[in-house]
Chains A and B, each alone.
Chain A
Amino acid sequence: DGGITQSPKYLFRKEGQNVTLSCEQNLNHDAMYWYRQDPGQGLRLIYYSQIVNDFQKGDIAEGYSVSREKKESFPLTVTSAQKNPTAFYLCASSITSGRDEQFFGPGTRLTVL
């Protein structure tokens, strides 16, 4: 089955710790995205990547980092510099760019204790 997988589904971390969220796709898409969703709000773009070894900041990149070493994988690290990391994180991919339909993963709910 083609699609996007994110792991884990629920993640708890202590304040001051870095944590990495996984995102893998087997759709052969060039572009991948990370979004953050807070209660009652829409999705906000954290980072996106159009090709391997290249990525760009979105609207709320501070406190986050990414890598794109493989086409299939786009992990997101939430660093201790992110002041309010508790949120629902969604990964997505599209064939090329933002004008294409984006396919979303099931999401990771991160809670900072």
Chain B
Amino acid sequence: AQKVTQAQTEISVVEKEDVTLDCVYETRDTTYYLFWYKQPPSGELVFLIRRNSFDEQNEISGRYSWNFQKSTSSFNFTITASQVVDSAVYFCALSGLGTGANNLFFGTGTRLTVIP
């Protein structure tokens, strides 16, 4: 069974603070893919990153960085020097290659509010 847990329901930070959004996943597949999506107030999901299970290198893209650790089944997302435009709901998602290979299993999301 595939499962994604985002334990943080809501987080508020003051602008310019760093913030980390946690994601823990469960899967029996040895090959799988992890994703992060951003959902701004407009509602449309925006793709941020995809990571396959064989690539544990951390990734940095501007103010965004991701920490993938298979040992703890986690794929955490850090925003450095947060900005008001970062306010959104962030979803972590998992896709395996076994049963349900075409399913993208989403966590329940973390609502981030950046206070100016």
Closest Cβ of chain B: how far from A102's Cβ, in Å? 6
Contact B102 A56 (CB under 8 A): yes
Q: How far is the CA of A45 from the CA of B2 in the complex (A)?
A: 13
Asked if A14 CB lies within 8 Å of chain B CBs, one says no
Contact B108 A41 (CB under 8 A): yes
Nearest A residue (CB) for B50 = A101
Closest Cβ of chain B: how far from A86's Cβ, in Å? 15
Residues from chain A with Cβ under 8 Å of B97 in the complex: 99
Known interface pairs A99-B33, A103-B47. Does A50 touch B102 (Cβ–Cβ under 8 Å)? yes
Interface SS of chain B: loop
Known interface pairs A42-B91, A42-B108, A42-B109. Does A98 touch B103 (Cβ–Cβ under 8 Å)? yes
Closest Cβ of chain B: how far from A22's Cβ, in Å? 16
Closest Cβ of chain A: how far from B87's Cβ, in Å? 17
| A31, A92, A102 pick with most chain B CB within 10 angstroms | A102
Contact A98 B104 (CB under 8 A): yes
Residues from chain A with Cβ under 8 Å of B9 in the complex: 40
A48's partner among B43, B45, B102, B107 (CB-CB below 8 A) is B102
Interface string of B18-59 (1 = CB under 8 A from A): 000000000000000101010000111111001000000000
Contact B103 A107 (CB under 8 A): no
- A-B contacts, 21 of them at CB < 8 A, read A31-B102, A40-B108, A41-B108, A41-B109, A42-B91, A42-B93, A42-B108, A42-B109, A43-B104, A44-B106, A48-B102, A97-B102, A98-B95, A98-B101, A98-B102, A101-B50, A102-B47, A105-B44, A106-B43, A106-B44, A107-B44
| 15 additional A-B residue pairs with CB within 8 Å, beyond A42-B4, A104-B37 | A31-B102, A40-B9, A42-B93, A42-B108, A43-B45, A43-B106, A48-B102, A56-B102, A59-B103, A90-B44, A92-B45, A101-B35, A101-B47, A102-B45, A106-B42
A interface residues, Cβ below 8 angstroms from B: 31, 33, 40-45, 48, 50, 56, 58-59, 88, 90, 92, 97-99, 101-107, 109
